[in-house]
C-alpha cells in the first residue's frame, strides 16, 4: 500500500514537471497557523492548529498543492484530560492570478480533496474514539511578497468533512470556515 501511494505521488509530481517544461517552475513550501470555526468533535467551539503545505507551480497561472493540517481541542468544561486531535490531508489544483511584476500581492483560488481523521480521548487518555472521512475544501487567499523568496499568506477556505462524532454513530456532514496564515518560501 505504501509503495503504491509513493508511486502515485511520484507519477503526479513527474507529470507536473514534464508539463511545465515551457514555463519556469517554482516550488513553494508553506508553514503557519490555522483555525477552524467549529470543533470537529462532538462539542462546540473552535480549534487552533498548524498547517503545512507544498506546491509545484506548472506556470504562472496553475499549480498543484498538498496541504496538511492538525487541530487540537481540550475540553476544559468538564474534564481537562479529554481532548480531540483532528488531521486533514488535502491535495488539488491552485490557480493564481498573476498581476504585474511590480505588484506585491498574488491572489489565488483552490479546490482540494482528501481526507480527515479525528481521535477523541474521552474520560481520560485510555478511552479513545476515532473516525476517518472524505474531506474537501474550496477557497482562496492572498500572498503578500516580503522579498524575492518569502511571501506572507492569508487564506480562507470552506472545509467539508463527514466525520462521526463521539456521541453519534451516524456519518454527519459538517462544514466550517478555515482560516490559515503563515509564511511561504519560494524557490
**CA of 38: how far to CAs of 42, 168, 179, in Å?**
10, 17, 12
pLDDT confidence of residue 81: 65
Cell of 114: 482528501
**Residue 146 CB neighbour total at 10 angstroms:** 12
* pLDDT tens for each residue of 31-44: 999 998 875 555 55
pLDDT confidence of residue 109: 97
The per-residue pLDDT for 85 is: 87
**pLDDT beneath 70: ranges in the chain:** 1-25, 39-45, 75-81, 123-127, 165-173
Instruction: Give residue 130's pLDDT.
Output: 86
- Cα Dmax for the chain: 59
In terms of Cβ atoms closer than 10 Å to its own Cβ (0-12, 13-18, 19+), residue 143 is buried
List the domains of the chain with CATH numbers: 25-186 (2.40.160.20)
- The radius of gyration of the chain's CA atoms, rounded to the nearest angstrom, is 18
Predicted pLDDT at 62: 94
Contact 77, 51 (CB under 8 A): no
pLDDT recorded at residue 144: 95
The pLDDT, as a whole number, for residue 24 is 44
Amino acid at each position: 500500500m505504501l509503495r503504491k501511494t509513493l508511486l502515485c505521488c511520484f507519477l503526479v509530481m513527474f507529470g507536473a514537471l514534464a508539463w511545465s517544461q515551457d514555463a519556469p517552475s517554482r516550488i513553494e513550501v508553506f508553514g503557519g497557523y490555522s483555525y477552524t470555526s467549529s470543533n470537529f468533535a462532538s462539542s462546540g467551539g473552535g480549534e487552533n492548529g498548524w498547517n503545512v503545505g507544498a506546491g509545484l507551480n506548472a506556470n504562472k497561472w496553475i499549480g498543484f498543492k498538498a496541504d496538511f493540517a492538525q487541530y487540537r481541542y481540550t475540553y476544559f468544561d468538564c474534564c481537562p484530560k479529554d481532548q480531540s486531535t483532528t488531521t486533514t490531508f488535502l491535495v488539488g489544483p491552485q490557480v493564481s492570478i498573476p498581476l504585474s511584476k511590480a505588484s506585491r500581492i498574488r491572489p489565488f483560488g483552490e479546490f482540494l480533496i482528501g481526507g480527515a481523521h479525528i481521535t477523541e480521548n474521552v474520560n481520560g487518555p485510555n478511552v479513545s474514539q476515532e473516525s476517518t472521512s472524505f474531506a474537501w475544501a474550496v477557497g482562496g487567499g492572498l500572498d503578500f511578497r516580503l522579498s524575492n523568496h518569502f511571501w506572507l499568506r492569508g487564506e480562507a477556505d470552506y472545509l467539508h468533512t463527514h466525520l462521526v462524532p463521539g456521541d453519534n454513530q451516524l456519518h454527519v456532514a459538517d462544514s466550517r470556515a478555515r482560516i490559515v496564515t503563515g509564511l511561504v518560501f519560494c524557490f
